[in-house]
Chains A and B, each alone.
Chain A
Amino acid sequence: MKKYINEIFRVLTASLLIFIALELIWPGMVISYINLNLVLIFWLVNVIFLMSERSKTN
Chain B
Amino acid sequence: MKISFKIFRIAVWLVLALVAGWLSWQKIVPGGKISYTYDFTRDNYFIGKLSPSERVRPPENGTQVITGDPVYFSLTPPRRFEKARLIIKYKIESKDKNHAPPIIEAGILKDQFWHYDLKPIENSIISGLAKKWSSITENDLILLQKEIKYKSVDEFLKNLPPLNQIATYNYNLNHVFRLQSYKPEKQTRALPASIRGPYGFYVYINNEELNLNFDFLDLNKNLSADPIKVRVMKGSKLIMEKELADDGDRSDSGKIGYQGKINIKQPGLAEGVYNVEVLANDDIVTSKIATAQSKISFIKKIWIYDSKNFPLRILTDNDGISAQTSNPSSIQGIETNSGSLELKETYKQFDKKLTASLTDLTLKKGDTLLSGDGMFAFSSDELFDPEIKKITQYFDAGKNNTEYIIARYIEPEQKDAPADGQTGWMTAAADFDITGAYRENGKFNFMLSIPGLKIDDGIDDSVIVKEIHVDLEGKNLWEKISSILR
Contact = CB atoms under 8 A, between A and B. Distances in A.
Give me the 3 closest cross-chain CB pairs, A-B, nearest first.
A32-B45, A11-B12, A29-B27
B19 interface: yes
Nearest to A26: B27
Contacts, number: 42
Contacts of B46: 32
B26 A33 contact: yes
A3 B9 CA distance: 10
Interface of A: 3-4, 7-8, 11, 14-15, 18, 22, 26-34
A7 B24 CA distance: 24
Contacts of A4: 5, 8
Contacts of B20: 18, 22
A28 B78 contact: yes
B16 A14 contact: yes
B362 to A, nearest CB: 52
A49 B19 CA distance: 24
A7 to B, nearest CB: 6
Interface residues of B, number: 18
B13 A33 contact: no
A18 B8 contact: no
Interface in B1-45: 5, 8-9, 12-13, 15-16, 19-20, 23-24, 26-27, 45
A22 B78 CA distance: 13
A22 B45 contact: no
Contact of A8 (B12, B26, B27, B78): B12
B27 A7 contact: no
A30 B23 contact: yes
A28 B23 contact: no
A41 to B, nearest CB: 17
A27 B78 CA distance: 9
Contacts of B15: 11
8 contacts: A4-B5, A7-B9, A15-B16, A26-B27, A28-B45, A33-B23, A34-B19, A34-B23
Nearest to A14: B16
B16 A18 contact: yes
B13 A11 contact: yes
| Most B CB within 10 A of own CB, among A4, A28, A30 | A28
A22 B23 contact: yes
Contacts of B19: 15, 34
A31 B15 CA distance: 18
Contacts of B5: 3-4, 7
Contacts of A29: 23-24, 26-27, 78
A28 B442 contact: yes
